[in-house]
Copies of this chain bind each other. A is one copy, B any other.
Amino acid sequence: MTLLHDALAKIRPLDPALLDQAQAKLDNKTKPLGSLGRLEEFARRFAAITGTLEPQTDRKVIYTFAADHGVVAEGISAFPKEVTPQMVFNFLRGGAGINVLARHEGADVRVVDMGVDYDFGLLAGLIDRKIARGTANFAKGPAMTRQQALAALEAGITLANDCKEEGIAMAGTGEMGIGNTTAASAIIAAISGLPVKQVTSRGTGINDAALANKIRVIEQALQVNRPDPSDPLDVLTKVGGLEIAGIAGLIIGCAANRIPVVVDGFISTSGALIAAAMNPLIRDYLFAAHESVEIGHRAMLDLLAAEPILDLRLRLGEGTGAALAMGLIEAGVKIMKEMATFEQAGVAEQQG
């Protein structure tokens, strides 16, 4: 538990002086005060997180964590679980949505096997952190052991530590795991206490009958496992997923290493919820990439006090929203770094 404990203990509040200095720098640029809206917020927070008014943004990485879910046995997904390893191969060949969008934004994609129910052997490009071949069916008992949940969290933290070593400027989270909207809905229901049907929707696209079944399965999971909302590790263990644990770990590690971290949609945000429940300061290190179509996402964002950057009705996951949001965050940082000041440009300042 040392790695997790150390990372959580290392996280510091943002320095308000840095936030002020960044805003002062922005206010000197040739534009009306505050006129670049949220781009200025991105720049300010990026500066305070990284501790510099001249942060680098070149090296960007999306971590796409993959794992399987025992709860698919309950018929909660529109896709068969074989799709999880099939999509891992697709990621590694560069043909998936996340590959296209990360390329477009100049980010690398790193695929992490946290718990896919498939033996990849030694596969070039795949980061092997497999904890188990998928979780157990949490409709019947805990998804994993507490030890497995811890190991998965620490795998994520280690990736963030490696980012620091490598000089990665910004990390993004993504995931692939057939059945994982069921886990994410179970997590937000457990943590918020909201009724399951208020935080559960169609995932990759199930019909009405399947949605009713999915809600019933999550209600059963909460009854069977009784996850303790005051113990985020217990929630993760009982109704989480291995990729969600990896995401939570990456986020904790990024906050500990002062690396801005862009959280993708519904499933990634469930990981952020677990992380922020372990140390609320983590919320200052996060950027919420987009408003997901999943109805439980809004409750998650409220708990994180996070305002999503994009609203493009995305519901693919993989890190696709994070890749696009990264481009906008980087744009904000470049405004702070590259725009001319009033003095440099010989432009008259605002009156009255």
Contacts and interface: CB of A to CB of B under 8 A. Distances in A.
A339 B31 contact: no
B80 A348 contact: yes
- Number of identical monomers bound together in the oligomeric complex: 2
The winner among A79, A89, A331, A344 for most chain B CB atoms within 10 A is A331
Given A87-B347, A95-B340, A351-B79, A204 B314 contact: no
Contacts of A283: none
Interface string A309-335: 111111110001000100110110011
A339 B93 CA distance: 11
Contacts of A193: none
A29 interface: yes
Interface stretch (A35-43, A223-231, A296-304): A35-43
B39 A314 contact: yes
B100 A32 contact: no
Interface in A27-68: 29-39
A266 to B, nearest CB: 12
B78 A350 contact: yes
A111 to B, nearest CB: 14
A3 interface: no
A293 interface: yes
Contact of A101 (B90, B331, B348, B351): B331
Contact of A79 (B34, B293, B344, B350): B350
Contact of A330 (B37, B96, B104): B104
A83 interface: yes
Contacts of A352: 78, 206-207, 210
A335 B95 CA distance: 10
A100 B335 contact: yes
A101 B335 contact: yes
Contacts of A119: none
Contacts of A15: none
Contacts of A350: 78-79, 204-205
The winner among A39, A312, A338 for most chain B CB atoms within 10 A is A312
Contacts of A96: 30-31, 339-340, 345
A348 B79 contact: yes
Contacts of A293: 37
B311 A311 contact: yes
Interface in A186-228: 204-207, 210
Contacts of A2: none
A80 B348 CA distance: 8
Nearest to A96: B30
B90 A347 contact: yes
Given A99-B338, A100-B338, A207-B352, 5 more contacts: A34-B205, A38-B312, A86-B347, A100-B334, A310-B328
Interface of A: 29-39, 78-80, 82-83, 86-87, 89-90, 93, 95-97, 99-101, 103-105, 204-207, 210, 293, 309-316, 320, 324, 327-328, 330-331, 334-335, 338-340, 344-348, 350-352
